[in-house]
Amino acid sequence: MARYAMVIDQERCVGCQSCTVACKSEWDVPIGGARTRVRPAGVRGIYPNFTSTFLVSQCNHCDKPTCVQACPTGATYQDANGIVRINKQLCIGCGSCVSACPYGARYINGDKGVADKCDFCAARVERGLEPACVNTCPAKAKIFGSLEDSNSAVFNLVYHGGAQRIETSDVNIGPNVYYLAKPEQMELAAAAFPPIPPQTIAAGRVWSGLVKKVVFLAVGATFLGQAVAFFRQLNVGEKQFED
Amino acid sequence: MPFENIPSVQVPLTVEQAEIMEQRQVKKHQVAVVLVHWFNALVWLLELTTGAALLVNPAYRVAPQWYLTMMQDVFGTSANLLRFHIAVGLTWIAVFLAYAIFGWRHYLHAEVLRKEVGLDNDDFEWLRIRTLLLVGRTKKHLPPQGAYNAGQKMYALLVYTMIPVIMITGLIMTFHLLATAVVAWAMVLHFFAVGMVVSGLMIHVYMGAVFPEERPAFYSMITGQVNELYAYHHHFKWWRDVRLQQQAWERQWAEEEAGNVHGDGATVHSRPVIGAYTLPNEEN
């Protein structure tokens, strides 16, 4: 079984947005939404001694995906190959996963009213093709493959080539998109777009913290009430009730 | 005749009166109400069993894991389960919409609702004494009740409030209507409204199907009728209304029979239509 991952070489990325366009056209992403993004992380220093980089971000298909834990309906799930996917038929578009993702990789597709995000072009990968963004990148800055395949470029870059994850002490969920960059570039990117600890939406907090308890209490109380009445009925016998 | 003069307060019955009244049927529910009731019961059974299986996330879950697995196996996939839940829900909305549109005057008009679910002073007194009786702190008798007692009225009010909430939030989730946050809160409201109805449903089902004193009420949801003795004991104010109405009709009919002859000499033989009452043999 493959275990998919991606390495993004930030030294090669020139910020041309070809991957963004390829992704949008492949998956019909509406205006305002994005499954993959290229964002400038700013500039540090003064010419000619400065650092600058772009951060290419998308779903990280994390080892411990917080979005899967947050989804109330089970629409978001993780395949055995590590790809985190959305069952659009089950998604109601409540936005729980959007708030739960530390990397801002998800959005609500306004046309369809359901959550959407990168799925490593699972439909293409199943047919032996590369993800659209990888296929289109003119600088070959995106490298895709399996971490189980010791011959793959991804395997070598992750285990021997110094590719790194963007994580913090707060957010430590095993993202499977790795970055190749100079240390100062990594620092710049991580400072510009730090992962945000997963949030539970207000409705979700109210559900588990209040509403669920109220409902259990109300249903439990009336169930108990009728159970007592029923056993009393059994004990007394029905003759007593009838005239 | 059990009574020459219809009493204005509940009086003890003679054995003979009770026997006659037990044989006489009073129409309580129209056929449409009976049909909608059982359709609604079926929908609730299906929607509760599938709905509970749709909540798979531990933070939201209400059913045990084996139940979720079992339901998934029955339906094949979660998507099928949801599709079924939605199909039944939409059918429910369609039927209730038709019921509301065509039956407005009969079942949902403000006048009807006031009579059926509006709480009056007797109802509040009933609730007070009922509660005291439950904890064994009084020996008082329950005050007379209308077509529905205060408990039934409160349950009806709860259901009438929660059903639109369940329908609207269901539509919001099904068709992903309005903003993302609205969908999220629709989920919570849907669950809350169902929970509140289910808590009342526990008592409703017990009282209707199991509690011996209310057995005639259960059969009335099949035949549409209750016997007069039950009506007299449990819904005195309603019994009295029905009897007064019937008496008025009987008098009118008797007057017409007695001598109200048309110009051509023909006697009016058509008996007035007695809407809410089934006339027994008057020889009784």
Whether the predicted interface score ipTM is above 0.90? no
The reported pLDDT for the residue numbered B282 is 43
Distance from CA of B279 to the nearest CA of A (A): 24
Tell me the pLDDT of chain B (284 aa) as tens digits. Answer: 445 677 777 777 778 777 777 788 888 788 888 899 999 999 999 999 999 999 988 889 999 999 999 999 999 988 999 999 999 999 999 999 998 888 887 777 887 788 778 888 888 888 888 778 777 777 777 777 877 888 888 888 899 899 999 999 999 999 989 888 899 999 999 999 999 999 999 888 888 787 777 777 788 888 888 888 888 878 888 888 888 888 788 788 877 777 655 555 555 555 444 444 444 444 43
Per CB-CB distance under 8 Å, the chain B contacts of A89 are: 79, 82-83
Helix (H) or strand (E) holding A39: strand A36-46
Could you tell me how many residues make up chain B? 284
Q: How far apart, in whole angstroms, are the C-alpha atoms of residue A202 and residue A16?
A: 38
Task: Supply the angle between the helices B78-102 and B31-54 in degrees, to the nearest 10.
Answer: 160
- Residue-wise pLDDT for B145-179, tens only, equals 877 888 888 888 899 899 999 999 999 999 989 88
Do the beta carbons of residue A5 and residue A61 sit within 8 Å? yes
CA dist B170 and A171 (Å) reads: 35
Question: Could you give the strand order of the β-sheet that contains A4-9, starting from the edge strand earlier in sequence?
Answer: A142-146, A4-9, A177-180
Using one digit for the tens of pLDDT, what is the confidence trace for A182-227? 888 888 988 899 999 999 998 889 998 899 999 999 999 999 988 8
Looking at the complex, does the CB of residue B64 fall below 8 Å from at least one CB of chain A?
Answer: no
CB–CB contact B187 A74 (8 Å)? no
Counting beta carbons within 10 angstroms of the beta carbon of residue B171, is it exposed (0 to 12), middle (13 to 18) or buried (19 or more)?
Answer: middle
- Give me the half-sphere count of Cα atoms (radius 13 Å) on the Cβ side of residue A159: 13
CA angle A61/B79/A104 to nearest 5° reads 30
Give the Cα separation of B79 and A92 in Å (integer): 12
What is the average pLDDT score of chain A?
Answer: 90
B198 CB near a chain A CB, below 8 Å?
A: yes
What is chain B written as a DSSP string? ---SS--SS--PPPHHHHHHHHH-EEE-S-HHHHHHHHHHHHHHHHHHHHHHHH--STTT--S-HHHHHHHHHHHSSHHHHHHHHHHHHHHHHHHHHHHHHHSIIIIISHHHHHHHH---HHHHHHHHHHHHHHTT---PPPPP--SS-HHHHHHHHHHHHHHHHHHHHHHHHHTT-S-HHHHHHHHHHHHHHHHHHHHHHHHHHIIIII-GGGHHHHHHHHHSEEEHHHHHHH-HHHHHHHHHHHHHHHHHHHHHHHH-B-TTS-B--PPPP-TT-----TT-
Sequence-distant (≥ 6) Cβ neighbours of residue B71 within 8 angstroms: B49, B50, B53, B81
B68 CA to centre of own chain: 32
- Look up tokens 């008797």; give the residue: B254
Cβ <8 Å between B185 and A203: yes
User: What's the pLDDT score for residue A129?
Assistant: 92
- Please state the domain extents for chain A: 4-202
Q: Does B183 touch chain A (CB under 8 A)?
A: yes
As a CATH number, domain A4-202 is: 3.30.70.20
How high is the mean pLDDT in each 10-residue block of chain A (243 residues)? 90 91 92 91 88 91 93 92 92 93 91 92 92 93 91 90 88 92 88 90 90 92 87 73 47
Neighbour count for residue B7 (Cβ, 10 Å) = 12
Using a CB-CB cut-off of 8 Å, the residues of chain B touching A96 are 184
Tell me what pLDDT residue B187 has.
93
The structure's pTM equals: 0.82
- Contact B219/A at CB under 8 A: no
Element (H or E) spanning A24, and its range?
A: helix A18-27
DSSP H/E element including A146? strand A142-146
Contact A140, A6 (CB under 8 A): no
- Rounded Cα–Cα distance for residues A94 and B191 (Å): 14
**Under an 8 A CB cutoff, do A72 and B187 touch?**
yes
